[in-house]
Chain A
Amino acid sequence: MLGGAAVLTLLVLVLLAMAFGPPRKVAARRWTHGLGLGLSLPVLGVMLAAGLWVGERVLPRDDGALKIEVHAVQWYWEFTAPGSDGPVMTRDRLILPAGEPVDLVITSEDVIHSFWVPQLGGKMDAIPGRTNRLRLQADAPGVLVGQCAEFCGLGHAVMRFEVEVVDPDDWEDALRATADNGEAEDD
């Protein structure tokens, strides 16, 4: 997409540069219909189709994927995952199994926030009164950073969290370990 944009910008610049020569007769329709419609419509059509296709692929589906609740509060995050004996809550630290699709169920306590882990994909707002779903998949174990992307007041810049991606087999252990020191980590 960026390459395409660069090419189009260059095209316009070259056409502009050429305008500084002697006057040239080109039929008006060549400009308005030929370039105006002829160039833009195919490009935009392709972009629409591509956007729809990618968008459809990342939608959450009811396929029994792991569901983790994300609750945004001014200015921290609570994550509640289903452990084998009851839900486990972690704060400002999200534990994800690698290589599996996960549905995040996102809610807010007070104002609008937005859940975003840049390395994993798009954002999804946390809106009071609504429950939003976002499907993510982290491919390899590691630690990533996430943050609130919708301006939410004084603590917006520091409303960050960590994402720990672990091997699916270690997921529940990691979850418990984090849940324990989750409260001590109060900031």
Chain B
Amino acid sequence: MTDSTAQGLTGTREDAQDEPLTIAANPPQRALGLHRELTKAWANDSGWWGQVTAVNHTTLGLRFMGTALVFFLIGGVLSMLIRAQLATHDGAFLDTELYNQIFTMHGSIMMFLFAIPMLEGLSIYLLPKLLGTRDMAFPRLTALGYWCYLFGGLIMLTALLFGVAPRDGWFMYTPLSSAAHSPGINADVWLLGVTFVEISALAAAVEITVTILRQRAPGMKLTEMPLFAWYILGTSVMMLVGFPPLILASVLLEIERAFGWPFFDVARGGDPLLWQHLFWLFGHPEVYIIFLPAAGVLSTLIPVLCRTQIVGYGAIVASILALVFLSFGLWVHHMFTVGIPHMALAFFSAASLAVAVPTVVQVFAWIGTMWQGRPELKLPMYYILGFFLTFVMGGLTGVMLAVVPFNWQAHDTAFVTAHLHYVLIGGFVFPMLAAAAWWMPQITGRERVRGLGEAAFWVILIGFHGTFFIMHLTGLLGMPRRIDVYTENPEWVWLNLTSSIFGFVMTIGFGLFVLDMALQAFMGQKQRRDPWRAPTLDWAMPLPAPAYTFASIPAPRHLDKEARDVTLPLARGEGLLPGAPRRRREFLVTSLAGARPDHVAILPGNTALPLAVSATIGAFVLLMLAGLYPLTLLPLAGVAALVWLWGRGMVRPVDEAPIPVAPGWQLPEQGLRRRTLGWSGSVCLLVANGTLFASLVFGVGFLAVVAPGWPGPEVQAAGRAALPGVVLAALMPLSGALAVRWAEAGQRRGSAGLVAAGLGLLANAVALGALAWLAAGHMDDPTQHARDALRGVLAGYVALHAFIAAGLGGFALDQTRRGEITPAHGGVLPTWRLWQDYAAVTAPIAAVLAVGLGMST
């Protein structure tokens, strides 16, 4: 932490961005030799088992995208069932129960199992290649995310097969989704399944953020990195902040359904509007989470296809920042008809209009780029033009919907269905199709078969607009969304029938697209080099991309050349950190803004641990669905044990000798640094966690101030007598924080910190004991009123963090005992300190809130 390049996430000296960075070239070696050496270190294990233990970003990125494509096709089949049902006015084909399940699953699959995983997959596949590194920051986390996604998705699909799929619409409004109005496991499948899947979203968000901020090739400054990385950085930060409200809402609703704690039930002090706020606090940013990566693809492809540079790089970066922020201030535009005062509606109407500005800036920057260059009408350009046509129309209807009186009319009608598909298909699917056409040669190492792709484009475009354009009209004529029959409005039949017919046309188009991909993968001519003459590093490698991506990591002098011109030097090891001489997976970690080399990260290899963890979480979900609540403690204990193993997997003997990176450049390995990638990952996770906590605080404030049914019944057990427990639970994490500091001081002096670590562990254990004492008789029945339920959740939140901090303390104790903590290497201590500090801050806040809730009587 002493020299200027070593400050990681906390801060790089401002001027470090301007000092030139010159690094000498390594001597060229035989490319094939390097390839063999690196492949031995980086390749997946062989056979089926190799797929299970794979943690490599190329493998997993492709697998994410492939799985997402399958879910897209399933979602598409469901949409065809919907369109078939709506083709006639009595829709005699599905019964209402099944129809409700089908449209709910269509929406949920498309949003949670197709769009988000697709963009995660694309980012995971592409980012290391684009940034000039060898893998994502946390490969095992990538794998964990994938398995959680797969298992969560399979649970939801299985429910559909057995006719018990969610049926309350993709936004699951309660009380319709409450235990009283939606008995059975349908709603639980959604709440638990989607939350399970969202583990992968959070995992991806954490590692994407860290990868972009700390793994860019040396010299690739933040202000000069490829726009795609800016877009994905915006996306991943939005995911860190956007998903927690949804996760909180789902957890609360599941607790309400399973254990009867009221949060949304008005009769007991809850409020259904709390669900809507939390859901849309996630739901609107979600739309931009989906759009930003697509826009990133466009910003990457358009300049290359026009043989020029992007117009307005800075304006685009500013637009991304504006979108990231503004899109969190719009969520109420989904709630314009719930009876909120006009001024509040107007705030959100204004914000919804304002968010159009950065989008418009980007659209014109792209058009400007096309003017400046000479657009080539290759297949990706077809889809880009399709994007412009479709997305502009969707954006304009979006602006209309932001106007309150118009929204009152069009809300929840087919007009909205049309709008959202214009935005999602125009703004996400078309750019993804362009991306597919663009990167398929890299993925398969083969050329496209001519003609079929263009045909698919035209059929999709015509099918799409034929399906959805007239739905604007259908909606304005008064057809609500989510209805299965319109017996008394036969005049809508022609409109709907037309939509349905074109819907099938679009499906044929997607069929052609998939066929095209399959033909390319299996029958295309070999393609050995970048077909696009792209400037970005993702093409500076042999095709298909090798497991280790770069035989040597690009140096500053490789960054401003065309990719094909640096492919060979990099393959011959002229870049940094060539080969795998230490037979392990290594890459460079650089500073946040100026990308100056900081240390060498050493990655864990292939392992089945991620699969084991997510299978255990899966067992938890299944037991919850089965209603066997006491048994869920088993998988929870299993997860805790596996996480411990996970942590042990990171422990290796620290190599004190510096690692040669280039002639005259040596860097320490990660164990000698405090701010490792893992530390940054914890910071990101705590940002998400803090948002979750903030959402909970919002929930407490919202119910206490706005919900009918307050104040609740007289406080009984949780009165003055409970105070000692509350104080202990609130302050013990703070003592833990002191203990960590003591342990760290000892570590630097070289004295074994057994006592300090032991005290830290004890402090957290006391906090847990105090909470157990409270739970055992000093809290009011949480099922009687939202106030008591909220207090229960606050206590649970504190308990969870005391437990995590205790676990880290125990881990530190164990490491100290084994002598793994040395003056140069702090082991788990920095991470423990982060989490302990977090617990120390949130516990008193939670305690104050819990006490305050009792006084609102």
Contact = CB atoms under 8 A, between A and B. Distances in A.
Contact of B483 (A22, A48, A54, A157): A157
Contact of B482 (A29, A40, A156): A156
Interface string A154-172: 1011101000000000000
A60 to B, nearest CB: 10
Contact of B311 (A32, A106, A118): A32
Contact of A129 (B315, B385, B709): B709
Given A16-B367, A36-B364, A36-B365, A26 B338 contact: no
Contacts of A36: 315, 357, 360-365
B333 to A, nearest CB: 11
Contacts, number: 216
Interface in A13-61: 13, 15-16, 18-20, 22-26, 28-33, 35-37, 39-41, 44, 47-48, 50-52, 54-56, 58-59
Contacts of B478: 118-119, 147
Given A31-B364, A112-B176, A12 B388 contact: yes
Interface in B353-377: 353-354, 356-357, 360-365, 367-368, 370-375, 377
Q: Interface size bucket, A side?
A: 35 or more
A128 interface: yes
B188 interface: no
Interface string A92-127: 000000000000001000111010101101111101
B370 A149 contact: no
B361 A8 contact: no
A41 B353 CA distance: 9
B529 to A, nearest CB: 26
Interface in B166-223: 168-169, 173, 175-176, 181
A145 interface: yes
A55 B364 contact: no
A1 B400 contact: yes
Contact of B375 (A20, A119, A156): A20
A23 B482 CA distance: 48
Interface in A60-110: 74, 106, 110
A153 interface: yes
B372 A23 contact: yes
Provide the main secondary structure of the chain A interface. Answer: mixed
Contacts of A29: 312
Contacts of A8: 392, 396
Interface string B301-328: 0000010100110011000000000000
A41 B367 contact: no
A158 B332 CA distance: 28
A11 to B, nearest CB: 9
B311 A156 contact: no
A112 B357 contact: no
A184 interface: no
Given A31-B365, A59-B342, A150-B412, A129 B337 contact: no
B19 interface: no
Contacts of B481: 151
Contacts of A55: 342, 345-346, 404-405
A67 to B, nearest CB: 16
A153 B181 contact: yes
Contacts of B349: 48, 51-52
B337 A157 contact: no
B403 interface: yes
A74 B178 CA distance: 14
Interface stretch (B279-287, B484-492, B509-517, B577-585): B484-492
A13 B100 CA distance: 38
Given A1-B400, A48-B350, A32 B480 contact: no
A123 B412 contact: yes
A22 B409 contact: no
A152 interface: yes
Nearest to B104: A151
A55 B173 CA distance: 26
B337 A123 contact: yes
A111 B354 CA distance: 33
Interface string B513-551: 000000000000000000000000000000000000000
B96 interface: yes
B486 A157 contact: yes
Nearest to B178: A111
Contacts of A110: 175, 181
14 contacts: A24-B371, A25-B372, A26-B368, A31-B365, A47-B402, A47-B403, A51-B349, A106-B339, A111-B181, A112-B272, A119-B478, A121-B409, A127-B338, A127-B339
The 6 closest A-B pairs by CB, nearest first: A122-B408, A129-B266, A31-B368, A36-B361, A132-B339, A19-B370
Interface of B: 96-97, 100, 168-169, 173, 175-176, 181, 266-267, 271-273, 306, 308, 311-312, 315-316, 337-339, 342, 345-346, 349-350, 353-354, 356-357, 360-365, 367-368, 370-375, 377, 385, 388-389, 392-393, 396-397, 399-400, 402-409, 411-413, 477-478, 480-488, 707-709
